[in-house]
């Protein structure tokens, strides 16, 4: 793996876990086992540029990951269940958020940096699109599919928040149990 990709990979995890301001440059460099020279060679605009690269990388990773799950299951309901199961496994194995979320970055940076806000927005959008398309093939109307996909995104994101504060995966499990009711409703 080349240095740049390595940096993005490690930085992504750190940013997800501790937030943008929560990760210092020195800490980051030590984790990657590189120096400032390397960082500013690949990312001349420094930390924020690295963050945006991380968000873009995350965008691709999440998209392909979720998309593959949604292709493997016939209905939105089953796909969602499988996806949340995977989220739970992730959360259980490394204790912190490393999955399809980046809430810390959103809430920290949305009001501070437009580029970062846009990158986060793009990511949410893409996730919602996958849900939406699946819902459409399930037979939902365009309007319903849009609303429900937003609802799914929001509730899963919120549930991860609750998992963090409770140090438990129960909230995600509950969401997983309740979501089907919503998907049948329409």
Binding footprint of its own copies on the chain (CB under 8 A): 17-19, 21-22, 95-97, 103-104, 106-108, 110-112, 117, 120-121, 124, 147-148, 150-151, 153-159, 161-162, 164-167, 171, 174-175, 177-178, 181-182, 185-186
> With CB under 7 A as the contact rule, which of the stretches 9-17, 26-34, 129-137, 165-173 interacts with DNA?
26-34
By the rule CB under 7 A, 17 interacts with DNA: no
Residue 2 contact among DNA, its own copies, none, beta carbon within 5 to 8 Å by kind: DNA
CB 108 within 8 A of CB 90: no
Q: Which residues, including other chains, have CB under 8 Å from residue 129's CB and lie 6 or more apart?
A: 149
User: What is the x/- site pattern for DNA, positions 39-58, by CB under 7 A?
Assistant: -xxx-xxxxx----------
Angle between helices 46-72 and 3-18 (to 10 degrees): 80
| Tokens standing for residue 178 | 């309740």
Which of 1, 37, 93, 111 touches DNA (CB under 7 A)? Answer: 37
Minimal CA–CA distance to 126: which of 49, 74, 184, 70?
A: 70
Which of 10, 38, 161, 164 touches DNA (CB under 7 A)? Answer: 38
- DSSP H helices in the chain: 3-18, 25-32, 36-42, 46-72, 76-94, 103-109, 114-137, 142-166, 170-185
Contact residues toward DNA (CB under 7 A) are: 2-4, 21, 23-27, 34-38, 40-42, 44-48
């Amino acid at each position: 793996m080349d240095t740049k990709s390595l940096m993005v990979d490690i930085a992504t995890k750190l940013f997800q876990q501790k937030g943008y301001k929560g990760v210092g440059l020195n800490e980051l460099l030590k984790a990657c086992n590189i120096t400032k020279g390397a960082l500013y060679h690949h990312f001349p605009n420094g930390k924020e540029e690295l963050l945006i690269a991380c968000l873009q990388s995350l965008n691709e990773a999440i998209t392909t990951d979720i998309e593959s799950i949604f292709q493997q299951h016939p209905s939105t309901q089953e796909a969602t269940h499988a996806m949340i199961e995977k989220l739970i496994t992730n959360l259980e194995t490394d204790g912190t958020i490393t999955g399809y979320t980046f809430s810390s970055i959103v809430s920290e940076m949305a009001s501070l940096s437009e580029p970062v806000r846009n990158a986060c927005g793009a990511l949410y959008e893409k996730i919602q699109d996958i849900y939406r398309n699946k819902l459409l093939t399930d037979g939902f109307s365009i309007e319903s599919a849009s609303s429900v996909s937003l609802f799914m995104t929001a509730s899963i994101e919120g549930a991860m928040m609750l998992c963090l504060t409770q140090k438990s995966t129960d909230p995600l499990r509950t969401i997983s149990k309740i979501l089907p009711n919503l998907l049948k409703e329409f």
